[in-house]
Structure 1
Amino acid sequence: MKKYCLALDLIDDPALIAEYENWHKSENTWPEIKESILGSGITGMEIYRTGNRLFMIMETDDSFSFERKGAMDAANAKVQEWETLMWKFQQPLPWAKQGEKWVLMEQIFKI
């Protein structure tokens, strides 16, 4: 198992943040999105929020790679529809590369 941590900002608007959180309730997340996540080698995913900053923890198996996940997502119309919907709420971190949403974080401490 490998663990990745990523960050992304939401647009700093309380109504948009509430709507974003509502989409991420278990009963509102599209089943195709959950299937896509689990089918890519991600075995667990958690998203946390403070203010308008999101923090994602992904646990993966040996089959996972960001390249494979990206290719799978690009070929999945439902994932593309979800990503377009979510972009209404999201904004890139100031240091994100062009077109980059979630930014991989660097681990700096562990016990």
Structure 2
Amino acid sequence: SRGLTSEIEARQFVNKEVFYPLDAVDGDDLVGNITWDNFIGYGVSDENRGFLGTITGVDESTINVLLRVDYDGEELLIPAVEEFVTDVDHIGHLLTVSLPEGLIDLA
């Protein structure tokens, strides 16, 4: 594909939100540039509980950011804490976490 070749072509993108696929970005360029919103649509797997569900949204209405996860039709709210994240697979769209015991009750 060809890039933009003139200022006139580029003007159509002024004040517009544009997207670039994460899988096309060098992993080293991602450090510090990803927000929790980038993980909407990713699966979440806990090291002890297994697959929890899919991230459907991010709740920033409180001091603690929460990931909204669809767990078999129920909504789980998981704190968006970097220390809980043990692995991120941008190709497979999977966030692996290690949540403290008792943080969520799936019963």
Higher relative contact order (CA 8 A, sep 6+): 1
TM-score w.r.t. the length of structure 1 is: 0.24
Q: Which has the higher strand share?
A: 2
Q: Which has the higher helix share?
A: 1
Larger CA Rg, structure 1 vs 2: 2
